[in-house]
Amino acid sequence: MIPDELVHTTSLVGTEAEVAERVRRFAGAGVDRLIVSPAHVERDQQLHTLQRLAAMAGVDPV
């Protein structure tokens, strides 16, 4: 079993507001890139998630 603390520390899971806050905290700590694997099965949902995350991070999605 994976400890809750490890999941919380390394994952972007939660409401959009919670994820945006985590992205801001990572940026504030000097993190300049994330490895992201959307959990959605459908491709359009994966792309939507990546676009929202890019917007939260203030970058232009490729």
- Per domain, the residue ranges of the chain are 4-57
Nearest Cα to Cα of residue 48 among 13, 40, 21: 40
Nearest alpha carbon to residue 51 among 41, 43, 61: 61
pLDDT at 61 over 80: no
Query: How far is it, in rounded angstroms, from Cα 20 to Cα 2?
Result: 24
Question: What percent of the chain shows pLDDT beyond 90?
Answer: 56
pTM: 0.77
pLDDT of residue 8: 82
